[in-house]
Amino acid sequence: MNEETQIITLTVNGEQVSRLVAVRQHLVDFLRTELGLTGSHLGCEHGICGACSVRVDGDVLRGCLILAVQADGAEVETVEGLTESGEISDLQDNFVERGALQCGFCTPGMLITAAELLLQGTPKTRDEIREFLSGNFCRCTGYHAIIDAVETTLNQRLENSP
Amino acid sequence: MSHTTLSNVFDRPNSYIGRSLSRPGARRAVAGRGVYTDDIDFPRMVHAAFVRSPYAHAKILHIDTAAAKAMPGVVLVMNGAELAERCTGPWIGTLACFEGMKSAPQFAMAVDRACWQGEPVVMVVAASRAVAEDACERVVIDWEELPATTAAETALDENTPVIHPDLGDNLAFKKVIDKGDVDAAFEAADIVLEESFSFGRHTAVSLETRALISEYDPGTERLTIHTSSQVPHMIQAVFARTLGVPEHNVRIIAPDVGGSFGLKIHTFGDEIAAVAASIKLARPVKFIADRMESFFSDIHAREHLISARMAVSREGDIQALEIDDLAGVGAYSAYPRTSVFEANQVLNITGGPYKHKNYRATATVVYLNKVPTSQYRAVGHPIGISVAEHMVDRAAEATGLDPVEFRRRNVMPDDGYPAVIAAGLPVKDLSHEACLEKLVAMMEYDELKREQAALREQGVHRGIGIAGFIKGTAPGPLGYYGVGGAPIATQDACTIKLEPAGGVICMVGVSEQGQGVDTVMGQIAATALGVTFESIRVISGDTDSVPYGGGTYASRATAIGGEAVYQASRALRTEILTMAGILLQSEPSSLDIVDNNVVAADNGEVRIPLAEIGRIGHFQVGELPHDYQPVLSATRRFRVSELPYIFTNGIHGAYVEVDTDTGFIRLLKHWVVEDCGRVINPNLADEQVRGGCVQGLGGALYEHCIYDDAGQLQNATLADYLVPMPAEMPDIEVAHIQTPTTESELGAKGAGESGTGAAPGVVMGAVNNALRPFNAVVTTQPMTPEIVLQALGKV
């Protein structure tokens, strides 16, 4: 069978990359297998669990529901990129300190979604944080500690913002 | 004096026991640097995918794989019969300890006949998973559909098809516990209460699915398997025995494990097939289950129908309890842990917190044409606890006592141990009374009741639930696996060694899945040895490195593995002090180890750093007498010796609101008081409890493997199989009573599963408490809105 392919050029975590990809390959398979960015995980590959969440042109998307070819020309950010830029270092510290992760499989997606909430820069109740994260499945923690870690980070940022 | 008593080892200023250290592994995971099995790549690696049976029960008439084999990129297509030739034979999932149990021989992939929808039939191995899946679509199988047996209630009826004719019927196992004089107690009882219950099937849904990469080197005959496993040594034995490879040639490495919850302690035919392919091809073979095939092939759990009777005196004393459990397992009993453990555990623990003496419990376990069931977090406990606590609530109501008061009256007294529970199992070091009182205070129970009453007036229906429990943790060899004949270690082990530069390597047989095993073991070792946490490297999850152990299951890692670490560390400490005594010409008993230094025990003066002990012990041994050769390493093993389990206890409280128009249940608050003995790391222990609770809440409210009458699973996606998400879950307040177990010096009991065990029962109690004015009773889990509305007579 001849696999249909296409050349794509995109920016991933600030670096421009160009690859020949199968048109049926979804974005996270591309990131994981072509670029070695294994921080984005696949938990269901049908858009429910949120483990594959990545940022594409500033929006958080399910990386399993977008094809790599659709990201041609896009700016993609993954947990590796957000880690290196330092954007979420406070959130990561609070996750570690609070024990807001166990197996860690959901964590990159959870962090990327929480980062979006933090960027809104407005106060949130615990219920609002729970609602915001409700597209991300965690089987280990029971969520309480995750909500604590996000709430703490949000409050720290609000206190420190002018 | 160096013979410090145990309590002051744990209370020393530099003790790590009782401190909430964060996990070094967490720091790695938040950066996306975790390494799970699917993140690993090898040169020449190929990928396996499976054709699975579309029918619950069907004969395989013909398999045509020609088109699949002809596809570019396909390197191997193997059917069940071809795989069977590479195996030592089918396995039989029975254990000798379950008397009279029977199961049919099971092949790794179906041969001639498939017995559940999803059973693997043909394996395709190709250059990529995508190509392997394409080729699976080209495999043509002629099937003859057979009648499927899918209802437990009728599985033993005469006209129900027998799944395995050689077994004679669909009965897997029957067991009766009959203690005291149940019939006399019921006859004499003031009040007899009866109820029936239904518990739906659910499954583990670890976010990382089952995953494996197998490599075989024909030169050394070495089989190296990276796999997401809780039990490296058990699965080493399983692969070795099923494929005829010497056990010592098999190396199991469990990289980061993305959740397991009991799922990853079992034998799966697709995994055996992938390993066989790696041997045949002499190339690394990767198999990562996708989500849909996980629903069709991961073990399921908890399909039980129960009827219960309780006899109570007018004054409010439980006089007898009787339960009859009918459990529908899959088409085969899972290997090597069986599919009957769950029903057996229901019998063991139901009503376990209470001091009544008359107890009869019957388990009938039947085969169905469904996915095999087996152990999943808190095996049997959600069922037994839900049933008993519901009957207790009914009894409280019937005798006019508050549920708290009724429990006060009936729980086993804290000063009454050791004791034997009604089911006949020994228990000790429990604290039902203390836990109950602490819960009542935490919940502000009376205030909560006032609020509930006030809101009733406004048409808001809230319910308060209370559920006490016992939980079997840390099984000993007298229980099941040891005597049952399975290759599953109930002992566990630690090898600890002082390295030349003064660092400490601590290798443990128990394994890490993110709950913090490595951290807890490090805390124990650091404390027992007298060194900083940072100077210890804990190694787990590699059968080439760690001493033989059972791995992590049944809430055993801290209770059993932790004690092995404690004992090994104390032994190494003794050796270090002996060597230091020789070097310093001092009595070892006058020395101690504090903060990585050997110090004078009386005044803490530093005498020699451990780095010096390490350097001399490895490089300058000539400074020591000829007749003294330091080893600077110790291995210790620990097993529970006197009990089948180290039972723990605790109690949950729940506050819920039921919308009587929609049937929706809103969880407002959840409280837990847990007695898991000595708490090593409070934060990690609390998070085990919280995570466990939410898994239990999922089973109580949402999770259900829904089958139709033909044995077709109706909801094998995460869109259709509902799991708890953040918005539906409550905050969970956790407190501890610490009654150290007297089975070990460390005193830790298991903490990983009890949340899952008790949460369903307490929420069911709270829902029924909310529904009381409507005379509506819910005894079906999951308690979906439909079930609630049915109870209310609205649908």
Subunit contact A1:B71, Cβ cutoff 8 A: yes
Q: Which among B213, B211, B235 is positioned nearest to B552, based on CA atoms?
A: B235
Separation in Å, CA B762 to CA A122, A143, B145, B464, B653: 36, 19, 43, 8, 6
Q: Bridge-partner residues for A6, per DSSP?
A: A21
Among B610, B638, B666, residue at a domain's last position:
B638
B128 and B258 part of one domain: yes
In B116-272, the DSSP E strands lie at 120-126, 140-145, 171-179, 191-199, 202-203, 211-217, 222-227, 250-253
B298 neighbourhood in chain A, CB within 8 Å: none
B54 and B141 part of one domain: yes
Q: Is residue B205 part of a domain?
A: no
Reduced to 3 states, what is the DSSP secondary structure of residue B248?
A: helix
Q: Residues B769, B651: contact at Cβ < 8 Å?
A: no
Residue labelled with tokens 């395995």: B164
Which residue numbers in chain A have pLDDT < 70?
1-2
Q: Are strands B191-199 and B304-312 parallel, antiparallel or unpaired?
A: antiparallel
Subunit contact A104:B34, Cβ cutoff 8 A: yes
CATH code assigned at B61 = 3.90.1170.50
Tokens of B342: 């769950």
Q: Which among A45, A37, A80 is positioned nearest to A64, based on CA atoms?
A: A45
Q: Is residue B514 part of a domain?
A: yes
Write the CB contacts of B156 (distance below 8 Å, at least 6 apart in sequence). B169, B170, B171, B364, B366
Residue labelled with tokens 């787990």: B540
Mark residue B316 as left, alpha or beta (left: phi above 0; alpha: psi -120 to 50; beta: remaining).
left
Helices (H), B607-720: 610-619, 682-701
Q: Residues A85, A144: contact at Cβ < 8 Å?
A: no
B512 neighbourhood in chain A, CB within 8 Å: none
B460 and B516 part of one domain: no
Nearest CA-CA distance, residue A143 and chain B, Å: 6
- Residue among A48, A99, A105 minimizing CB distance to B258: A105
DSSP string, B399-463: HT--HHHHHHHHBPPTT--SEE-TTS-EE-S--HHHHHHHHHHHHTHHHHHHHHHHHHHTT-EEE
Q: Is residue B201 part of a domain?
A: no
Q: Which among B467, B392, B468 is positioned nearest to B431, based on CA atoms?
A: B468
Interface membership of B2 toward A (CB under 8 Å): no
CA angle B473, B475, B478 (to 5 degrees): 150
Which of A12-36 are b and which e, b meaning 16 or more Cβ less than 10 Å from the residue's Cβ? bbeeeeeeebbeebbbbbbbbbbbe
**Would you state the pLDDT for residue B613?**
98
Would the pTM count as exceeding 0.90?
Answer: yes
B617 and B657 part of one domain: no
**The dihedral of CA B397, B403, B407, B408: what is its sign?**
negative
B495 and B607 part of one domain: yes
Subunit contact B32:A51, Cβ cutoff 8 A: no
- Residue among B32, B290, B692 minimizing CB distance to A83: B32
B551 and B661 part of one domain: no
Q: Residues B567, B55: contact at Cβ < 8 Å?
A: no
Subunit contact B513:A96, Cβ cutoff 8 A: no
Round to whole Å and give the CA distance between B595 and B585: 21
- B311 C-beta neighbours (distance < 10 Å), count: 24
Among B638, B668, B695, residue at a domain's last position:
B638
Nearest CA-CA distance, residue A160 and chain B, Å: 23
Question: Which of A143, A146, A152 best probes binding to B when mutated, by most B CB atoms within 10 angstroms?
Answer: A143
B398 and B249 part of one domain: no
Find the closest chain B residue to A35 by CA distance. B39
Q: Is residue B183 part of a domain?
A: no
A63 neighbourhood in chain B, CB within 8 Å: none
Restricting to B residues 656-695, those with a Cβ less than 8 Å away from any Cβ of A are 683-684, 687, 690-695
Backbone φ and ψ for B598, nearest 5 degrees, come out as -80, 125
Q: How far out from the chain centre does Cα B106 lie?
A: 24
A133 neighbourhood in chain B, CB within 8 Å: 726-727
Tokens of B265: 């302690």
Subunit contact B29:A101, Cβ cutoff 8 A: yes
Q: Is residue B161 part of a domain?
A: no
Separation in Å, CA B427 to CA B175, B330, B421, B561, B645: 21, 32, 7, 21, 8
Subunit contact B30:A42, Cβ cutoff 8 A: no
A45 neighbourhood in chain B, CB within 8 Å: 290-291
B500 and B582 part of one domain: yes
B513 neighbourhood in chain A, CB within 8 Å: 102-103
B134 and B267 part of one domain: yes
Domains in chain A with CATH codes? 5-82 (3.10.20.30), 86-160 (1.10.150.120)
Average pLDDT, chain A: 97
Subunit contact A46:B717, Cβ cutoff 8 A: yes
- Residue among B29, B131, B209 minimizing CB distance to A107: B29
Round to whole Å and give the CA distance between B467 and B350: 12
Counted domains in chain B: 3
B519 neighbourhood in chain A, CB within 8 Å: none
A37 neighbourhood in chain B, CB within 8 Å: 32
Residue labelled with tokens 């909560």: B448
Interface membership of A24 toward B (CB under 8 Å): yes
Subunit contact B258:A103, Cβ cutoff 8 A: yes
Nearest CA-CA distance, residue B321 and chain A, Å: 33
Restricting to B residues 102-141, those with a Cβ less than 8 Å away from any Cβ of A are 130-131, 134
Restricting to A residues 96-155, those with a Cβ less than 8 Å away from any Cβ of B are 96-99, 101-108, 111, 126-127, 129-131, 133-147
A86 neighbourhood in chain B, CB within 8 Å: none
DSSP string, B719-742: TTS----GGGPPPEEEEE-----T
Find the closest chain B residue to A45 by CA distance. B291
B72 neighbourhood in chain A, CB within 8 Å: 1
Q: Residues B572, B497: contact at Cβ < 8 Å?
A: yes
B625 and B731 part of one domain: no
B527 and B655 part of one domain: no
Round to whole Å and give the CA distance between B282 and B49: 18
Write the CB contacts of B230 (distance below 8 Å, at least 6 apart in sequence). B254, B257, B260, B262, B264, B265, B511, B513, B551, B552, B553
H-helix or E-strand spanning residue B790: helix B785-791
Interface membership of B718 toward A (CB under 8 Å): yes
Among B261, B277, B293, residue at a domain's last position:
B293
Write the CB contacts of A111 (distance below 8 Å, at least 6 apart in sequence). A79, A82, A88, A91, A92, A95, B30
H-helix or E-strand spanning residue B642: none
Which of B577-593 are b and which e, b meaning 16 or more Cβ less than 10 Å from the residue's Cβ? bebbbebbebebeebbb
Domain housing B29: 6-34+491-638
Subunit contact A103:B30, Cβ cutoff 8 A: no
B558 and B615 part of one domain: yes
Q: Is-cis flag, bond preceding B232, omega within 30?
A: no
CATH code assigned at B615 = 3.30.365.10
Q: Is residue B110 part of a domain?
A: yes
**Would you state the pLDDT for residue B6?**
52
Restricting to B residues 591-630, those with a Cβ less than 8 Å away from any Cβ of A are none
Q: Bridge-partner residues for B60, per DSSP?
A: B143
Round to whole Å and give the CA distance between B146 and B114: 9
Subunit contact B207:A131, Cβ cutoff 8 A: no
**Would you state the pLDDT for residue B2?**
38
Find the closest chain B residue to A111 by CA distance. B30
Helices (H), B248-297: 269-281, 291-297
Report chain B (795 residues): mean pLDDT per 10 consecutive residues. Answer: 54 90 96 98 98 98 98 98 98 94 98 98 98 98 98 98 98 98 98 98 98 98 98 98 97 98 97 98 98 98 98 98 98 97 97 97 98 98 98 98 98 98 97 98 98 98 98 87 83 98 98 97 98 98 97 95 98 98 98 97 97 98 96 97 93 98 98 98 98 98 98 98 98 98 97 97 98 98 98 97
- Residue among A25, A37, A142 minimizing CB distance to B729: A142
Instruction: Name the DSSP letter for residue B533.
Output: G
